[in-house]
Amino acid sequence: MRLALIAFLALAAHAAQAPLVFEPSAIAAWRAHAFKGRTEYRLVDTETGPALHARCDASASGLVLERAIDLRATPILEWSWRVDATLDPSVDETTRAGDDFAARLYVVRDGGLLRWRTRAVNYVWASAQPAGADWPNPFASQAHMVAVRSGPGDGWATERRDLRADFRRFHGIDLDEIDAVAIMTDCDNRGVTAEAWYGAIRFLPAD
């Protein structure tokens, strides 16, 4: 009996550390949330496999998964995306007029009824801000922007971020879990068009 219990606990611990993977087909089924108009999201086949293609036309809407994700087990966020052309780099992306991005992925800690306690980190593919730059979102300071990529891409790119470290750095808080993850391609403030492709999103154990 004791050996069986030890084996069960070991199996449970291994399962708790298992990666959490969302393929493009799963992301396509996330809840749509519109800020202005509708960005079109559709599954496509690419040279590297299935992807979620996004195209905005003076619109801003995203796909959201509301789910608690344990950062003690899977603190590493990994995703792939592609942007062939970015927006006009002469517009200041740190202002409301320039808060448009061909691709963004964000994670949220919900403040519940105390909405001002909600915190988010918003990873973007910037047009002008250099990779590594960060700034408060001009519409909601509780969301912090991080330029992971900048300028036109030359194919698919894969990113990795330590979410617990990022929430400590940008919000000064230690988190055990987040409550939502989302993607969005938006261009409503500039009234233009943009497109991007999203691959799988993974939550992984620490290295």
What's residue 108's pLDDT?
Answer: 97
What's residue 4's pLDDT?
Answer: 52
CA distance 179 to 69: 6
Domain positions in the chain: 19-204
Tell me the mean pLDDT in the region 47-60: 96
Asked if 173 contacts 157 with a C-beta cutoff of 8 angstroms, the reply is: no
What's residue 167's pLDDT?
Answer: 98
Q: What is the pLDDT of residues 143-189, one digit of tens each?
A: 999 999 999 998 999 999 999 999 999 999 999 999 999 999 999 99
Q: What is the pLDDT of residues 83-142, one digit of tens each?
A: 999 999 999 999 999 999 999 999 999 976 456 679 999 999 999 999 999 999 999 999
pLDDT at 200 exceeding the cut of 50? yes
Strands 177-186, 60-70: pairing kind: antiparallel
Candidates 73, 163, 77; CA nearest to 120 is 163
Tell me the mean pLDDT in the region 4-18: 50
pLDDT, averaged across the chain: 91
The domain defined by 19-204 carries CATH number 2.60.120: yes
- Pull the structure tokens for residue 70: 């344990």
Tell me the mean pLDDT in the region 58-86: 97
What's residue 2's pLDDT?
Answer: 55
What's residue 36's pLDDT?
Answer: 95
Asked if 191 contacts 37 with a C-beta cutoff of 8 angstroms, the reply is: no
pLDDT at 14 exceeding the cut of 50? no
What's residue 116's pLDDT?
Answer: 63
> Residues with Cβ < 8 Å from 38, sequence gap 6 or more?
32, 59, 61
CA distance 144 to 139: 10
Q: Which residues of 135-156 are buried (b: 16+ CB within 10 A; e: fewer)?
A: eebbeeebbbbbbbbbbebeeb
Strands 101-109, 76-82: pairing kind: unpaired
Q: What is the pLDDT of residues 158-168, one digit of tens each?
A: 999 999 999 99
Tell me the mean pLDDT in the region 24-34: 97
